[in-house]
Amino acid sequence: MNNNGATAIPSLIASDPDGTIASYTIESLPPAYQGVLLLGGIPVTAGQVLTPAEISLLQFDPNPAFTGNAIFEYSATDNSGFTSNSALYTIPVNNLPPTAIPVVAPVMPNSNGPTAIPSLVGSDADGTVVSYTISSLPLPGQAFCY
């Protein structure tokens, strides 16, 4: 998962060999600095009980400054009222790298003298491009960079 807004997470998993799972309880939440666990866009609270149908609506909205593993804990309750052990749910959050976008300058006669070239362009799906690095220059005699 990247830190670009709320994203659906895979469903919680539990099984009961002699019955069915009736509900899930969110036992603990990731710290707020990591992000927010959401149910249909509304923040989940520790101790909140969810139906099996509701778990497909869970989302995680990572804090834009956070990268790492966000972890919460949950348990399941079966149709007889028995509760499982707690399980950890780990959500890896990463920062996607920016993308440089190729730019082609218009044709210029070699007698133009110093001429502005188009701006450098980049995009960052989960942030802002803050700088550019020029990794190669024209060969000597082809152009002069000012």
Output the CA–CA distances (angstroms, integers) from residue 54 to 4, 25, 57, 59, 90, in the order listed.
Answer: 23, 11, 5, 11, 19
Residue 14 CB partners (closer than 8 Å, separation 6+): 21, 24, 76, 84, 87
Q: Quick check: is 116 in a domain?
A: no
Q: Quick check: is 27 in a domain?
A: yes
| Tens digit of each residue's pLDDT (9 = 90 or more) over 7-24 | 999 999 999 999 999 999
Q: Quick check: is 129 in a domain?
A: no
* Whole-number Å distance between alpha carbons of 91 and 71: 6
Q: Quick check: is 120 in a domain?
A: no
Q: Quick check: is 71 in a domain?
A: yes
CATH of the domain at 20: 2.60.40
pTM of the model: 0.69
Q: How many domains does the chain have?
A: 1
Q: Quick check: is 105 in a domain?
A: no
Q: Quick check: is 82 in a domain?
A: yes
Do residues 38 and 60 make contact, with C-beta atoms less than 8 angstroms apart? yes
What local confidence, expressed as pLDDT, does residue 80 receive?
96
pLDDT surpassing 70 at residue 62? yes
Give me the domain span that covers residue 79.
Answer: 7-93
| Tens digit of each residue's pLDDT (9 = 90 or more) over 88-142 | 999 999 877 788 888 888 887 777 677 788 888 888 876 788 888 888 877 877 7
Phi and psi at residue 27, to the nearest 5°: -80, -40
Q: Quick check: is 11 in a domain?
A: yes
